[in-house]
A and B are shown apart, each in its own frame.
Chain A
Amino acid sequence: MTETTLLGLCAAVLVGLGLFGLIVNPQPLRKVLAFNVLGGGVFMLFGVVARRGAAMGFGGDPVPQGLVITGLVVSFAATALAVALILRLHAVAGTASLRADALDATTAPPTAAADDAAAVQRLT
């Protein structure tokens, strides 16, 4: 087996690990981490595809390599947005859970006072 194929199989395992983490870990932040592991596997497979297409003196097919760079930036934006959302949910509800029953019915509506309280809590 060539090194490239080996890395391709490694990427497949990373995808499996990422999926497992996304499904099984209850904490949203850990799901975001798992999403990044999964994304790493997908991008790595793209790199393997690029490496297989090495020709004309290029170490790899430049088209997929360029696409991976685009993908990495998009995936960072996704992570940043998801993290911002988790932090906001935590600030408003006091929990960052994805379970419907984690938010009790008494969760206060977002009044200015509640916001202030949340802000104070975060700053201290």
Chain B
Amino acid sequence: MVSLFAVADAVTPGGTLLVLSLLVPVAGILAAMLAGGRHVARVVAVVVVIGLAVAVAIGWQMLQSGSELVYWLGGWAPPLGVGLRADGLSAVMMLITAVVVGGIAIYARAEFRTPPGVTEARAPYVFWIMLLGIWCGLNAVFVSADLFTLYVALELLTFSAMPLVCLDGRAETLQAALRYMIFALMGSVLYLLGAVLIYGAYGTLDIAQLGQVTQADAATVAACVLMTIGLLAKTALFPLHLWLPPAHAGAPPAASAVLSALVVKGSFFIVVRIWFDAMPGVPGLGAAQLLAAMGAAAILFGSVIALRQQRLKLLIAYSTLAQIGYLFIMFPLAFDPAVGEFVRGDALTGGMLQAMSHATAKAAMFMAAGLIYATLGHDRIGEMAGVARVVPITVLAFAVGGIALMGIVPSGAYLAKKLLLGAADGSGQWWWSLVLEAGGFLTASYVVLVIAQALAKPAAPIVPRVRVARSQEWAALALAVCSLLLSLAVLGPVPASLISNPLAPKELLASAIAIIGGALLVLAYSRELPRFAIVDRIAGLLRPLRGALGALANGFVRIDDAARQWSIAGLSMLVLTLLFGAAMVLQR
């Protein structure tokens, strides 16, 4: 998927499509802002259809021409002008973004409807415009070939994401939005500082040109460190995640889906661009190991704390924290010691595939959580028993999304894991295989917990507070199924031998082991055991173990609480800056 397309050096046919991918959301923002009221949702509906068509056209054009798409804005060639460039990564990310935005838009039509008798309401107006703003920012991130345009795109993302966090106006969400805003601003200004140093050293901001000239001198190393740290703060990689759990858990469900599935991927994508394309020879293996170690810590802390949550939305938010960690495991695996650079290969494909499966699955899970909340009037995991009988499609969507995340055939995460494991074996870094395998069990644990709770027998029959719209349930399920079948969609570029028959005994056994392992973890230290007779009996047997593991998990929670203190997070950021700097300098 990644090395399929030739590198292009001049404007290519079809490059106009890249401009369209920016212009369509911008035009939508302007039209929606002007028209207001009920027209906003209509404008967005039109823009979603056209935007999806543009994304498909870009992918089709690339398959046809077998080359990257390049466009020079204003006809000015880089470095003087700004270039747009789409490779395989950009194309698939744009496509998956368009699909997720489409799914969220269908879901949100019921949630953000202008009430009758009102010409214009605040929440719908803001939600729809910001949805387009996020889409525009993401497309700009995916196609821009210029470090400064990427900075503007990052700010576009932040400014659009912040209002979504506090859309309901409660004090907690306003505080969450403020924490996010200030931390993200710090991140983007550090990124900009790195870009400034790059310009000072090379006189260009064009990523393709930089890829050919960058070398590990002082300014470049400093730039790489600053940009990486700034972007990690915006991606909320552990321990720079102080803003993520409250922001993602407190927003309205549709907004949470956007934030969790899409927004964090923007800054992650720029990290990939910088490490693989702009300066592949600069960071070195040491820094990559550090990055992956942060990812491993994120998986461990995110998953363990997710299982200790009492509220479904917080559980999903912490799951996002863990899944962000997954995205960074690929970096040391993609390092080729022979050339001393990060090279595009199976590891990168695996990492990006992970990002795409998480985008679809997590959007589906947040939507499902929103529907469960609407049905029950709360999202307390301990009181969810029997909800599967009331909203079966919703629970199915959550389950399918969760299974897709666990990495069971034929989900995208399955293929991602397989590619990453292969790369880990190939480079002899067995410890990352261990992390990947453990991560699978940890993911399974919180998914199994929620599904078991939903399937359990209710103490009293549930009377749904509202009837959720069918369209919302199906939107969630569709995205979840997308994630589950993602590996099939990329069958073309990867060898078919990587995908096994999901019903083969070996795969069934692997899936069963993952689920049983997850169930055992639930029994070991979950606070909200589902009410099944057998569960009680096993938990009784495991009591001493549960006590010890519960205390351990509480320790994790306490460390996480401390790490999310503003000053501690700030200090971690500075320490990591110095550590990355030291790792890159020692590498030389």
Interface residues of A (CB under 8 A from B): 15, 19, 22-24, 26, 28, 31-32, 35, 38-39, 42, 45-46, 48-49, 52-53, 61, 63-64, 67, 70-71, 74-75, 77-78, 81-82, 85-86, 88-89, 92-93, 97-100, 102-103, 107, 109-110
Judged by a CB distance under 8 angstroms, whether B192 is at the interface is yes
CB distance from A90 to the nearest CB of B (A): 9
List 18 additional A-B contacts (Cβ < 8 Å) besides A19-B570, A32-B182, A42-B196: A23-B570, A23-B571, A28-B178, A31-B182, A35-B185, A39-B189, A46-B199, A70-B148, A71-B151, A75-B189, A78-B185, A85-B166, A85-B174, A88-B169, A107-B170, A107-B171, A109-B170, A110-B168
Interface residues of B (CB under 8 A from A): 80, 148, 151-152, 155, 158-159, 162, 166, 168-172, 174-175, 177-179, 181-182, 185-186, 189, 192-193, 196-197, 199-200, 203, 246, 566-567, 570-571, 573-574
Task: Show 9 residue pairs from A and B whose CB-CB distance is below 8 angstroms, ordered by the A residue.
Answer: A38-B186, A61-B203, A74-B155, A85-B162, A88-B174, A89-B174, A89-B178, A92-B174, A100-B175
CB-CB nearest in chain A for B188: A78
Bound complex: CA A12 to CA B371 (Å): 50
CB-CB nearest in chain A for B561: A100
Whether the pair B169, A92 counts as a contact (CB closer than 8 A) is yes
Please indicate the chain A residues that have their CB under 8 angstroms from the CB of B567 in the complex.
23-24
Please indicate the chain A residues that have their CB under 8 angstroms from the CB of B574 in the complex.
19, 23
Bound complex: CA A81 to CA B178 (Å): 10
CB-CB nearest in chain B for A26: B566
CB distance from A55 to the nearest CB of B (A): 11
Please indicate the chain A residues that have their CB under 8 angstroms from the CB of B246 in the complex.
100
Beyond A42-B192, A46-B196, A52-B200, whether A81 also contacts B162 by CB under 8 A is: yes
Please indicate the chain B residues that have their CB under 8 angstroms from the CB of A70 in the complex.
148, 152
CB distance from A15 to the nearest CB of B (A): 7
Q: Give the residue of A35, A86, A107 whose beta carbon is less than 8 angstroms from that of B178.
A: A86
CB-CB nearest in chain A for B155: A74
Please indicate the chain A residues that have their CB under 8 angstroms from the CB of B162 in the complex.
81, 85
Query: B-side binding surface: helix, strand, loop or mixed?
Result: helix
CB-CB nearest in chain B for A44: B196
Q: Give the residue of B151, B155, B175, B203 whose beta carbon is less than 8 angstroms from that of A98.
A: B175
Bound complex: CA A110 to CA B167 (Å): 12
Q: Give the residue of B168, B172, B197, B571 whose beta carbon is less than 8 angstroms from that of A103.
A: B172
Bound complex: CA A114 to CA B199 (Å): 51
Counting chain A CB atoms within 10 Å of each CB, the highest count among B171, B177, B199, B566 belongs to: B171
Whether the pair B185, A49 counts as a contact (CB closer than 8 A) is no
Counting chain A CB atoms within 10 Å of each CB, the highest count among B148, B151, B152, B168 belongs to: B148
Please indicate the chain A residues that have their CB under 8 angstroms from the CB of B570 in the complex.
19, 22-24
Q: Give the residue of A26, A39, A93 whose beta carbon is less than 8 angstroms from that of B175.
A: A93
Whether the pair B199, A85 counts as a contact (CB closer than 8 A) is no
Counting chain B CB atoms within 10 Å of each CB, the highest count among A82, A85, A110 belongs to: A85
Q: Give the residue of A15, A67, A82, A110 whose beta carbon is less than 8 angstroms from that of B185.
A: A82
Bound complex: CA A75 to CA B162 (Å): 15
Whether the pair A78, B155 counts as a contact (CB closer than 8 A) is yes
